[in-house]
Structure 1
């Protein structure tokens, strides 16, 4: 506002000085013309204020690595065009709180509705909020401007693509799948399969797990023993999380890969979603796995974290529970998969 008044005063003083000291018809025409141009520029900024309507159109849910974009619909109900419209957008990854600011300069004709398409600049995972934080309307020469604060937003949920998980992530997480106890098997031919291990010379060909071996680069054999049950218990722990988006992506993809791997092996998974409240999900198929992943993606870090006391109680109550954690200090525990920026995902 101060900048607009300053430019207006300087322009007016210059026009009056030119008219006073130059007593010609040109001076009069210049004064009239300057006033008309000044009036047009001012009106082109302030008459459209409040007559622009905004809407962010984004899918509620989409797979990661698809065409991750959104649309911005702007309607100008004014009789004047908007030559320069600066939109300040903020894209926020809700779980980590990381934000990116973007500035878009657009033009909107009079009495029209325009659609603009944008692509998310980063391959996010989880809940992402897109918000218009501020807009600035400028005239053709950027002499005058009007700034308006806004809070127009839309939220989308980006989930891992199960197709790519089956093709890529299972292979990339062989160190997890081949760790003793991480891949318990169900009953077969009257025996219980406790785990799988890498094929070694001398192992019986009959013991090769062909279904699992076809999914990874290597041969695995079945290890038999008597189990008290064939269900798998699993939970997550985000303590000591560093709020890195790439680490969050790696954590979710590792968790999703394990979940889909268990389901593909016809295992039932008892997933502890929130240890504090005792909320659990029973996962029997891919649909249940996808639902569990979505539930995790919509939770805050506090809801999927374990305090030291809860960790000790969990290990005492459910010693065979598989835990994916970001806390590297808990890597010495059995049945623990660590996903950390200090150390790539490992299993103890």
Structure 2
């Protein structure tokens, strides 16, 4: 606002000075033309203010390997076109509170509605909120500007890609760092989840997964022998987790892969999702696993972080619970999978 007033005053003083000290018809024409141009530029900014509406269009739920983007639908109800519209928006990752500010510069004709597509700058996972907090309208020469506050937002849930783990039964007190054996593969509709491995000489031809093998140009065989259908107790611990999206993504992918793998092995999984209330989910099929992952993705850090007292209570209540944690394991009496960016520990 101050910059706009300053330009207006300087322009007006220069025009008056030129008109006063130059006694020609050109000075008169220059003064009149300058006044009309100045008036047009000012009106093109201030008559449009309040007549711009923005809407954010996002998918409610997508997988991480899908195109991550959003659309902005901008409506100009004014009779004047907007040559420079600057949209200020914030993209926030709900769990980590990580925020990124972005600006989009657009032009909108008069009495029209336009849609613009953009790609998310980060491969986030979890709940993401996109919020528009301000519009800045500028004239053609960017001399004048007006600002319009907004509070428009939209949320999207980004799910982890389905993964499978070649699970061997986790032994008591075994700590696993960055669980190995993941085979990144999208779920195939209508097929039962199974453990997969690359074909080796001696494997039964009957166990070859022909549909998958034809897509990736490599032979995979189904493996069913390692899991036996026992009940499994699982929980998560995000204690000491800070603003680290990469670590968060790794944690969620490992949790998702482990959960799907147990379900594929006919295990019933009891998942403790809130340590303060003791809330649990019973998972025995793919749909239940997907819903459990959504529950974890939309929880706050407080829900899935454990205090020392809660760890002690967990040890007393569920002595064989499998704990996934981003913190160093605080109890050796658990089957614990540690997800960490520190390259320490043993790998099974």
Query: TM-score, normalising length from structure 2?
Result: 0.83
The secondary structure found in structure 2 opposite 1:107 is strand
Q: Find the counterpart in structure 2 of residue 298 from structure 1.
A: 298
Instruction: Tell me: CA distance 1:217–1:179, structure 2 relative to 1, closer, same or farther (3 Å).
Output: farther
Q: Find the counterpart in structure 2 of residue 203 from structure 1.
A: none
1:338 and 1:346 in contact (8 A); partners too: no
Tell me the CA shift for residue 135 of structure 1.
Answer: 1.5
Q: Which has the higher contact order (CA 8 A, sep 6+)?
A: 2
Instruction: Tell me: CA distance 1:346–1:40, structure 2 relative to 1, closer, same or farther (3 Å).
Output: farther
Q: Find the counterpart in structure 2 of residue 73 from structure 1.
A: 73
Tell me the CA shift for residue 317 of structure 1.
Answer: 1.4
Equivalent-residue separation in structure 2 for 1:213 and 1:295 (angstroms): 25
2:194 and 2:264 in contact (8 A); partners too: no
Deviation digits for residues 176-219 of structure 1 (CA, Å, limit 9, x no counterpart): x4532599xxxxxxxxxxxxxx9xxxxxxxxxxxx976347899
Equivalent-residue separation in structure 2 for 1:313 and 1:343 (angstroms): 29
Q: CA RMSD in A?
A: 2.7
Deviation digits for residues 296-327 of structure 1 (CA, Å, limit 9, x no counterpart): 00000100111101101111211111110111
Q: Find the counterpart in structure 2 of residue 248 from structure 1.
A: 248
Q: Find the counterpart in structure 2 of residue 257 from structure 1.
A: 257
What stretches of structure 1 of length at least 5 have no aligned partner?
184-197, 199-210
* Pairing 1:337–2:337 present: yes
* Pairing 1:326–2:326 present: yes
Q: Find the counterpart in structure 2 of residue 26 from structure 1.
A: 26
Tell me the CA shift for residue 110 of structure 1.
Answer: 0.5
Deviation digits for residues 26-78 of structure 1 (CA, Å, limit 9, x no counterpart): 11111110000000000000000000011000011111120100000000000
Instruction: Tell me: CA distance 1:303–1:217, structure 2 relative to 1, closer, same or farther (3 Å).
Output: farther
What stretches of structure 2 of length at least 5 have no aligned partner?
175-180, 182-192, 204-222
Tell me the CA shift for residue 123 of structure 1.
Answer: 0.7
Q: 1:214 aligns with which of 179, 182, 196?
A: 196
Equivalent-residue separation in structure 2 for 1:345 and 1:153 (angstroms): 42
2:224 and 2:265 in contact (8 A); partners too: no
Q: Find the counterpart in structure 1 of residue 131 from structure 2.
A: 131
Equivalent-residue separation in structure 1 for 2:6 and 2:194 (angstroms): 74
Equivalent-residue separation in structure 2 for 1:51 and 1:213 (angstroms): 57
The secondary structure found in structure 1 opposite 2:143 is coil
Within a 5 Å distance, the mapping from 1:105-116 to structure 2 comes to 105-116=105-116
Tell me the CA shift for residue 343 of structure 1.
Answer: 3.8
Instruction: Tell me: CA distance 1:257–1:345, structure 2 relative to 1, closer, same or farther (3 Å).
Output: farther
Aligned length: 310
Equivalent-residue separation in structure 2 for 1:42 and 1:326 (angstroms): 56
Equivalent-residue separation in structure 2 for 1:74 and 1:141 (angstroms): 22
Equivalent-residue separation in structure 2 for 1:249 and 1:217 (angstroms): 30
Q: Which structure carries more helix by proportion?
A: 1
Equivalent-residue separation in structure 2 for 1:87 and 1:331 (angstroms): 50
Instruction: Tell me: CA distance 1:213–1:282, structure 2 relative to 1, closer, same or farther (3 Å).
Output: closer
